[in-house]
Structure 1
Amino acid sequence: MAFGDSLTWGTNPVAGGRHLYEDRWPSALGRGLGQDFRIIPEGLGGRTTAFDDLTAAFERNGARALPMLLATHSPLDLVIIMLGANDLKAYISPTAHGAAAGMARLVEIVRSFPYSWGMQAPKIMLVSPPHLCKRANGEGPQSGRIIAESLKLAEGYRLLAQAQGCSFFDASTVATASDVDGVHLDAANTRAIGTALVAPVREALT
């Protein structure tokens, strides 16, 4: 299961709306893995790791959504979590420390969930999102996010993954945010994440 936010849902910063199904990174990952694997995309725009956003008309707190999704889709072999970009909004939890704490809570939820009928807890892969960037007009990224904090996410997530025995991947090594809004990805960069995850996911599942 690919558990994420608008980067997983496929927000298109260039044309607006949503990327085509085949351009979203879970789809690219599925193509790369082949027909013996099934990727369940669970992306939602605005989703945080474990923080409330009461400005929205729907639940954005990942810690509240995750238990329901684990029950819905079990049994699962692997949960890939790519979140944190929305935690960094100025009015939510604008530091990388908050995002890392939220990710730790999500790991705890996956590990401690009461799976039915003897099902085992799935393995976990933490993915740090691409770095935020300035917009073409010189302004910072949407919603008061701080670029410098986004640069810290990868190291925080890597240390968490190491401590908790999870797999880790840094999406900033293969994808760059669009300067349209400084947050979201064009189609090529979105696909690039899925393609790059093929080998790490195969390794995680061995």
Structure 2
Amino acid sequence: MPTILAFGDSNTHGTQPMVTRPSALPRLARRWPVVMAETLGWDLLEEGLPGRTFAFPDPEKGPHMDGRLGLFVALESHGPIDALTIMLGINDLKAHFDASPDQIAAGCAFHLDVALSDEMQALHGGFEPFLIVPPAPHAAGVLSEIYTGAAEKARRTRELMRAEAEARDVAFFDADEVISVSAIDGVHFDAEAHEILGAAVARFVMSEFAAP
């Protein structure tokens, strides 16, 4: 049975839309990677860390939020895998990072290069990476101040991330085409969105594996 590794942040972890900060709500049992793997009939490895970024240590949450470190750890501690999904970028849009779309896209490119490297491909006997761009966040609720200006920046970031994927011939899925973030906090997905995204990503992954 094929194995797929889901690497991401709180939306991969299954964090529910937040009405307080910090949230006391448990993570969703049917988060999108679980739905995806169930639909595919594949084994699932989950590496969703709330607060994870493409390339920034967080002054509040710690240096381990830098996904560049986390991806090496995940790929070297699991396996072999047949596929990898990477869905990051929302946390990089936080106002306190003041990151440009180009900087965020560069962090994305680093992740793709690690996944495609001879070392990592050999370690797993070859695997297919998939880049999932999350839906654009917006300032709302208890996270409003943190995500001021994020919606506008996200549009340009999405275009640049797509370009990085296309330059490396990596399959690209735009989650904004099937779901939106919750209006409650402007960042996280509700239960229905997780179901929709998981099924959509499963179809996308299967179509890529079936392609000649």
Q: Same fold judged by TM-score > 0.5?
A: yes
2:57 is matched with 52
* Residues in 2 aligned to 1:81 and 1:120: alpha-carbon distance in whole angstroms: 19
2:83 is matched with 78
2:151 is matched with 147
Pair 1:171-2:187 in alignment? no
Secondary structure of residue in 2 paired with 1:177: coil
- Could you report, residue by residue, the CA deviation over 1:88-125 in whole angstroms, capped at 9, with x for unpaired residues? 11122433222211010001111226349764342111
Q: In structure 2, do the counterparts of structure 1 residues 116 and 141 end up closer, same or farther at CA, with 3 Å as the change threshold?
A: same
Task: Report the alpha carbon displacement of residue 160 of structure 1 after superposing the two structures with TM.
Answer: 1.2
Which runs of no fewer than 5 residues in structure 2 stay unpaired?
A: none
* Residues in 1 aligned to 2:68 and 2:119: alpha-carbon distance in whole angstroms: 15
2:109 is matched with 104
Query: Is contact 2:88–2:133 with CA below 8 Å preserved after alignment?
Result: yes
* Residues in 1 aligned to 2:26 and 2:53: alpha-carbon distance in whole angstroms: 19
Q: In structure 2, do the counterparts of structure 1 residues 176 and 73 end up closer, same or farther at CA, with 3 Å as the change threshold?
A: same
Q: In structure 2, do the counterparts of structure 1 residues 125 and 55 end up closer, same or farther at CA, with 3 Å as the change threshold?
A: same
* Residues in 2 aligned to 1:93 and 1:62: alpha-carbon distance in whole angstroms: 17
Pair 1:201-2:209 in alignment? no
The count of residues paired between Structure 1 and Structure 2 equals 202
2:190 is matched with 186
**Which residue of 74, 77, 101 corresponds with 1:69?**
74
1:21 is matched with 29
Bigger drift between 150-159 and 181-190 goes to 150-159
| Alignment-mate amino acid for residue 20 of structure 1 | L
* Residues in 1 aligned to 2:145 and 2:82: alpha-carbon distance in whole angstroms: 35
Task: Report the alpha carbon displacement of residue 198 of structure 1 after superposing the two structures with TM.
Answer: 1.3
**Which structure features the higher share of helix residues?**
2
Query: Is contact 1:94–1:149 with CA below 8 Å preserved after alignment?
Result: no
Bigger drift between 157-166 and 112-121 goes to 112-121
| Alignment-mate amino acid for residue 27 of structure 2 | H
Secondary structure of residue in 2 paired with 1:40: strand
Q: In structure 2, do the counterparts of structure 1 residues 107 and 115 end up closer, same or farther at CA, with 3 Å as the change threshold?
A: closer
Secondary structure of residue in 1 paired with 2:57: coil
Query: Is contact 1:77–1:122 with CA below 8 Å preserved after alignment?
Result: yes
Pair 1:157-2:161 in alignment? yes
Task: Report the alpha carbon displacement of residue 154 of structure 1 after superposing the two structures with TM.
Answer: 2.6
Bigger drift between 128-137 and 92-101 goes to 128-137
Let me know the Cα RMSD of the aligned residues.
2.3
Pair 1:123-2:128 in alignment? yes
| Alignment-mate amino acid for residue 168 of structure 2 | Q
